[in-house]
Amino acid sequence: MTVFDPKSFLTAVFNAAVAAADPERTIRDHLPAKPRGRIIVIGAGKGSAQMAAAFEKVWDGPIEGLVVTRYGYGAKCERIEIIEAAHPVPDAAGLEASRRLLEKVRGLTADDLVVALISGGGSALLPSPAAGLTLADEIAVNEALLACGAPIAAMNTIRKHVSTIKGGRLAAAAWPAKVVSLVVSDIPGDNPALVASGPTVPDTGSREDALASISAYGMKLPEAVIAHIGSPAADAPNPGDQRFSHNEVHLIASAGVSLEAAAVEARRQGVEAVILSDAIEGEAREVGGVHAAIAREVATRNRPFQKPVLILSGGETTVTLRAKGKGGRNSEFLLAFAIGISGVQGIHALAADTDGIDGSEDNAGAFADGSTVSRMRTAGVDAKAMLAVNNAWTAFNAVGDLFVPGPTGTNVNDLRAILVR
């Protein structure tokens, strides 16, 4: 008789979610019509290289192009050049990639077609500071955003107002060529204009909105940045601009689709599954506490769901940095969750980023169960103390519960899977 292994089950659920966002399958379903002129493929994001490789495989005809992805996330392409740059904090390689992408789409005609392969992570990979600002200024903005706990929509509204490539500007540079954007969403609510700060898709967020968010989250930014955002020079193109009038935007993968696939895999293995939401936001540790309360209720009172059950959720939480520990939003969520279910039997959980990386380390997230906190204590680690200093990676590493699948080639936000047996 085969012994049920919760970690293997949760890993299979994660793999099913990632497979549902497979670039080759999703791109094949959204190929544009062939143009009379040239076809230029551009892209940015942690899944852009795999998207480029998939596009080469399914496109019948000549293409050329350039995409930028995170270091270590490259893929083998024959006709599309892959550049790797830094994430989550921009670097000079990203600056050069932005310059080359803008150059790639200039001078095109109305007969040409630009296909933009956009996925999460593109914001950091496309530094392109506005006139009067420097790469150091854009790095300072990124670091402040990562530390302040602002939701992704607010972060990207700020980013696009200090950039010459975000907020639709890359597509505007391609005018009069048509731009077809194929977007893999890692944004709660799946607004394609917010993925990678929308280099090819404008939105209505204004510089006044950006300044309001800077104030609301107490961000300390360089004076030159504040002055720029306060000036008309920061205004991004409006969605009604004629340069976007004949462009197309296709959402080809999202958290919602991947969560449904995860649920199907759970049911295939004989476990009922429920999806709480694909758009949960908020402070990671607080969201972790709420999920722990739900899991305890199911484990001890068999409500609001009947066990055995897999509880799924997606979205993107945030972390307000209190210290310089190691970790990311998924491991911080799960450490708070582990504290909340400590001592409760029959609960097993995985929280992981579908791109394969949580924060700046090599893990996508971690596993936890009712014994996690006590096992950490035995290993000489105080879970609550580690949570207080944003050091979830160290806590899970001490008990061998980090989840390290490696780069997945896609990015549809976070997956939280809680099994109550």
CA distances from residue 162 to 92, 99, 124, 193, 299 in whole angstroms, order as listed:
16, 15, 12, 16, 48
- According to the model, what pLDDT value does residue 379 have? 98
Residue 248: its H or E element: strand 248-253
- According to the model, what pLDDT value does residue 360 have? 77
Model confidence at 2, pLDDT cuts 50, 70, 90, reads low
Residue 187 has pLDDT above 90, yes or no: no
Sequential DSSP letters for 83-134: EEE-SSS--HHHHHHHHHHHHHHTT--TT-EEEEEEETTHHHH---BPTT--
Lowest mean pLDDT among 135-144, 162-171, 406-415: 406-415
- According to the model, what pLDDT value does residue 1 have? 52
Q: Kindly report the CA angle at 281 between 276 and 284, in degrees rounded to 5?
A: 100
Model confidence at 340, pLDDT cuts 50, 70, 90, reads very high
- Give, rounded to a whole angstrom, the gap between the first and last alpha carbons of the chain: 18
Segment 224-266, tens digit of pLDDT: 999 999 999 999 999 999 999 999 999 999 999 999 999 999 9
Task: Give the residue carrying structure tokens 């909340």.
Answer: 340
Starting from the edge strand earliest in sequence, which strands make up the sheet with 365-369, in order? 272-275, 309-315, 414-420, 347-353, 365-369, 402-403
The pair of three-digit structure tokens given for residue 154, joined into one six-digit string: 């607010």
HSE of 282, CA atoms in CB hemisphere, 13 A: 11
Q: Which amino acid is at 140?
A: A
Integer Cα distance of 353 and 334 in angstroms: 12
- According to the model, what pLDDT value does residue 136 have? 97
- According to the model, what pLDDT value does residue 44 have? 98
